[in-house]
Structure 1
Amino acid sequence: MERKEDEDANAPGASERSSRATRGPCRERLGAFLRRNLVVILTVSGVLLGVVLGMALRSARLSRTHVSYLAFPGEMLLRMLKMLILPLVVCSLVSGAASLDARSLGRLGGIALSYFLATTLVASTIGVALAFAVRPGVGAGALNGPAPALEGMGARKETADSFLDLARNLFPANLVAAAFRTYTTDYKMVAVGNLSNGTVTYQKVPKGVETDGMNILGLVLFAIVFGVALRKLGTEGEELIRFFSSFNEATMVLVSWVMWYVPVGITFLVASKIVEMEDVLLLVTSLGKYIFASILGHVIHGGIILPLIYFGFTRKNPFSFLSGLIAPFTTAFATCSSSATLPSMMKCVEENNGVDKRISRFILPIGATVNMDGAAIFQCVAAVFIAQLNDVQLNAGQIFTILVTATASSVGAAGIPAGGIITIAIILEAIGLPTNDLSLMLAVDWIVDRTTTVVNVEGDALGAGILHHLSQKDLGKRQGVLVGELTEVWAEPTADALAEKEETLSLVTREKLDVVTAAGGSDEKEDEFF
């Protein structure tokens, strides 16, 4: 028998059949990997192709008109992503807030805000420390000359008015207008004094104006409160909760379709930016230390600090978690917009990393609005850079002011390209530095803003992963509590009664009810977070 097996093994063609059998599973695994990661591969390839295309077209010296034509496919991508932001933020937050009870919502929101503020404060500290270590403004006095005015700055805005605007935008006077307009303070000069004897002085008086741009803060707060209110209505609010949940699911389907266009749009976005670059060597030579300090801060915070925080809470490999987010990171790098990256981030966090939808769709929109770790780093580096540029020695009080102001003002930073540049003005005003040097930041913002956005969205994603882990951990501690509550509410439910209840209950309530039905109303298991 053994001799027969040896003969079969030594028979002609046996080794070939064995190699084919080995190649079969390998091909299947390779095919499955390519199908699973096709969008990621195409997106990364789009960035590389955009670099090659942009470098090839630089020698053609295209006019501004031709560059705008080149950027058109990328512009269409940004318009698609921005189109999805409003329904995604509002519907996901309404359904997410309605799916959690008040105690769970309060605990979840408290942990999220604590995480956001703590990581942003750490990021600000890293930015200040690196700026003093690298000293990017020392020896760059040649840059401190007449500079073009910073477009869109207007009158110098008082620090107090900046924070008052933040509070005002939390409560928009017109909810419809908040979808495309935001409140900001402008100033007008009013004549005061004794006009009869010619003694006239002028006083700067603040006045409110509406500017273009979605008021994300106001929409986020309204959506959360509205979702809680719908939950309080009980069965009367279930129809509307189901409407927002369905709307949200339909929006995610649209996101999955747009994701297939992302590689094309990114290719032309990157190519057009490279063609627009003027003398990159001159910029890197003059502002190289500023760029180095900012990007090094992003690498330290995004590559070391945030993964360590994730590991400390979850005891899981953070880089395995981040490996499922290559597509949104690539989108963030190409678009420089946290808000535009939100749709793809939400999809990948749920599908690739298994984060519960009720966590991701509640936390990620808030994080895209208030969590700006990358922005805090480069804002602190920029503030110290401008101080060194003007030979201003910062004292301990001013350094503390930079840390606190950068942490607080990053909450109001717009999740759009170059959104953090305007926010730096708040920090400079707080420590008494001139804002005219901000035009230097704009010259290299297109470089720094890419790593800034990647770190911003990485912090949001890891925060969602931490909250998912903590909610699962809390589930183990309070196992069976909600089942007991449900048993009290629906004592001895009949099959018909359960079927009738299931028709009118929300997604979360139905999940609880399914567990009770499966367990016969007595098993100590449930499928809710808290």
Structure 2
Amino acid sequence: MEKPRASQNGYLEAGEAAAEARRPGRRLCRPRACGRFLRRHCLVLLTVSGVLLGVALGAGARRLRLSRAQVARLAFPGELLLRMLKLVILPLVVCSLVSGAASLDTRSLGRLGGIALAYFALTTLGAAALAVALGFIVKPGLGAGALNANALRLDDALPTAKETVDSFLDLARNLFPSNLVVAAFRSYATDYKMIIRNTTVGNITFEKIPVGTEIEGMNILGLVLFALFLGVALKKLGPEGEELIRFFNSFNEATMVLVSWIMWYVPLGIMFLVGSKIVEMEDVVLLVTSLGKYIFASILGHIIHGGIILPLIYFAFTRKNPFSFLLGLITPLTTAFATCSSSATLPSMIKCIEENNGVDKRISRFILPIGATVNMDGAAIFQCMAAVFIAQLNNFDLDAGQIFTILVTATASSVGAAGIPAGGVLTIAIILEAIGLPTNDISLILAVDWIVDRTTTVVNVEGDAFGAGILHHLNQKEMKEKEPELSEVYVEAVPNCKAEAETSPLVMHKDQALATSSPSSTDLESKESVL
């Protein structure tokens, strides 16, 4: 006897339901699922495709022997992308920090800020120590003493050598800009002027005098500090500051809408950015063979720190899969690889970490702008590796005190490193001056900066993202711990409310009135029996 297809309650059996799902009619859902997957990850796929197409475009264009003017025209769509991303940095940083600081209470703001600064400092210091250790293991500068800028036909301009004390004083000056409007497009830097002192017959003494100047480049450090204090001040005002807080919130949301529009142009811009950079390479074989050990050591440090250490730190705090967290950030990581700018990656990072990874807006818009300014794990690896490389290049043995100086100086100077392409190179001179090494070999670092700077930026923004994820987890954990306390308070308050209701004369009068107006069942039965 054939077994009936339906059970007694009208539903299919479990095995038959699975067989029904495998029927040809059910296969029609697979194209729909693929369509939903493509719609959901369309931007990610387009961004990765843009990088691959850019490599192919650059490889094909190299055979055409383009002139410098033609290469500049080829890079024009990518230049537009950078300009659009930099356009929204100022309103995004200021508005997100003001609204983020104003949305958190003072205790939470101080706690989260302290955890964030500790995370940034420890990860950057660990990255610097990793770079120094790899430098002594790989020895990238050993046997490369014959290298010089003339042999490699380098004509890059060297950064101005600056004393270490003046560099840290400039960092403090930029924290407190004298003009907020000027800070939006200029930052403070110390320059030097040579004057003649004690002139005698046949004896001339020159003295170097520090002179303050303004250089091109947004002073993000000063804007970040101002926005934080402004948000806290608006929170302290109470109702009087609510309207201004709503203004910054609306401004921030409108900026994120602009960012979502710009993101659809990212694949096209990335394609031309990568392609034009490949065309600009003159003799990549010579650079890779001569500086291959330095490139290998730097990228290896970025892989170890970004692929092992940072995920382990995230897993230790959250007990969640760090690579699934990174999977939702493919678009900003690809943007970081193509643009070499952590500041330009900030808009897409905020958008993706909120929508794909579910990080609280108050956390992401508070910590990511700060991280893009002060958290430079990749730059610390790059700078320390460059310092060890130049020391080995000049047969200079580093002692324990100089190694400690490299670690501390790299960690501190990475805070003031500009979030722009080749921004970390400018701070290498600070480290070299601190340990007494010449700065004329920085041109070798500049020659391969376009290679190493891409993985540097990826590690920088990855560290910011993991920091936001850790803070979001800790904040959610604290909120869950507070819920039982609130429920206990609520349970204790319920009997008190009932007791007050029972002793209220008004309620008692109402109950008595209801009792007298509605006869009981026993009264009705007695009346029936009497009748």
Whether the 8 Å contact between 2:89 and 2:347 is mirrored in structure 1 is: yes
The offset of 1:412, in angstroms, is 0.6
Q: Distance in 1 between matches of 2:123 and 2:459?
A: 11
Q: Go from structure 1 to structure 2 and tell me whether the alpha carbon gap of 1:481 and 1:237 turns closer, same or farther (over 3 Å shift).
A: farther
Q: Distance in 2 between matches of 1:314 and 1:24?
A: 39
In the alignment, what sits opposite 2:159?
A: 153
Q: Distance in 1 between matches of 2:72 and 2:459?
A: 28
Q: Distance in 2 between matches of 1:71 and 1:470?
A: 43
Query: What is the aligned counterpart of 2:300 among 281, 287, 296?
Result: 296
**Higher Cα Rg: structure 1 or 2?**
2
CA-to-aligned-CA distance 1:177-204 (integer Å, 9 cap, x gap): 00000000000012222x4666441110
TM-score using structure 2 length: 0.87
Q: Distance in 1 between matches of 2:384 and 2:436?
A: 14
CA-to-aligned-CA distance 1:90-125 (integer Å, 9 cap, x gap): 000000000011111111100000000000001001
Query: What is the aligned counterpart of 2:398 among 381, 394, 398?
Result: 394
Secondary structure class of the residue paired with 2:424: helix
Q: How does 1:285-364 map to 2 (within 5 A)?
A: 285-364=289-368
Query: What is the aligned counterpart of 2:48 among 41, 44, 52?
Result: 44
Query: What is the aligned counterpart of 1:445 among 449, 454, 474?
Result: 449
Secondary structure class of the residue paired with 1:187: strand
In the alignment, what sits opposite 2:110?
A: 106
The offset of 1:25, in angstroms, is 2.1
In the alignment, what sits opposite 2:2?
A: 2
Q: Go from structure 1 to structure 2 and tell me whether the alpha carbon gap of 1:16 and 1:4 turns closer, same or farther (over 3 Å shift).
A: closer
Q: Distance in 2 between matches of 1:484 and 1:348?
A: 38
Q: Distance in 1 between matches of 2:488 and 2:190?
A: 53
In the alignment, what sits opposite 2:506?
A: none
Residue type of the alignment partner of 2:357 = N
The offset of 1:162, in angstroms, is 0.3
Query: What is the aligned counterpart of 1:90 among 94, 100, 105?
Result: 94
In the alignment, what sits opposite 2:183?
A: 178
1:385 aligns with 2:389: yes
Residue type of the alignment partner of 1:357 = K
Residue type of the alignment partner of 2:178 = A
CA-to-aligned-CA distance 1:238-277 (integer Å, 9 cap, x gap): 0000000000000000000000000000000011011111
Residue type of the alignment partner of 2:248 = F
Query: What is the aligned counterpart of 1:235 among 232, 239, 245?
Result: 239
Q: How does 1:444-523 map to 2 (within 5 A)?
A: 444-479=448-483
Q: Distance in 1 between matches of 2:29 and 2:284?
A: 49
1:244 aligns with 2:273: no
Query: What is the aligned counterpart of 1:164 among 149, 166, 169?
Result: 169
Q: Distance in 1 between matches of 2:305 and 2:123?
A: 9
In the alignment, what sits opposite 2:430?
A: 426
The offset of 1:137, in angstroms, is 0.4
Q: Distance in 2 between matches of 1:69 and 1:199?
A: 54
Whether the 8 Å contact between 2:148 and 2:444 is mirrored in structure 1 is: no
Q: Distance in 2 between matches of 1:484 and 1:432?
A: 64
Whether the 8 Å contact between 1:144 and 1:390 is mirrored in structure 2 is: no
The offset of 1:26, in angstroms, is 1.6
Q: Go from structure 1 to structure 2 and tell me whether the alpha carbon gap of 1:416 and 1:25 turns closer, same or farther (over 3 Å shift).
A: same
Q: Distance in 1 between matches of 2:478 and 2:149?
A: 58
List, as ranges, runs of 4+ consecutive aligned residues in structure 1 with deviation greater than 6 Å: 480-485
Whether the 8 Å contact between 2:368 and 2:465 is mirrored in structure 1 is: yes
Q: Distance in 2 between matches of 1:31 and 1:381?
A: 46
Secondary structure class of the residue paired with 1:435: coil
In the alignment, what sits opposite 1:518?
A: none
Q: Distance in 2 between matches of 1:26 and 1:408?
A: 53
Q: What fraction of aligned residue pairs are identical, expressed as a percent?
A: 75
Q: Go from structure 1 to structure 2 and tell me whether the alpha carbon gap of 1:463 and 1:3 turns closer, same or farther (over 3 Å shift).
A: closer
The offset of 1:419, in angstroms, is 0.3
TM-score using structure 1 length: 0.87
The offset of 1:46, in angstroms, is 0.3
In the alignment, what sits opposite 1:417?
A: 421
In the alignment, what sits opposite 2:525?
A: none
The offset of 1:478, in angstroms, is 2.5
Q: Distance in 2 between matches of 1:189 and 1:484?
A: 73
The offset of 1:278, in angstroms, is 1.1
Secondary structure class of the residue paired with 1:419: coil
The offset of 1:3, in angstroms, is 6.8
Q: Go from structure 1 to structure 2 and tell me whether the alpha carbon gap of 1:484 and 1:61 turns closer, same or farther (over 3 Å shift).
A: farther
CA-to-aligned-CA distance 1:460-502 (integer Å, 9 cap, x gap): 00000000000111112233779999xxxxxxxxxxxxxxxxx
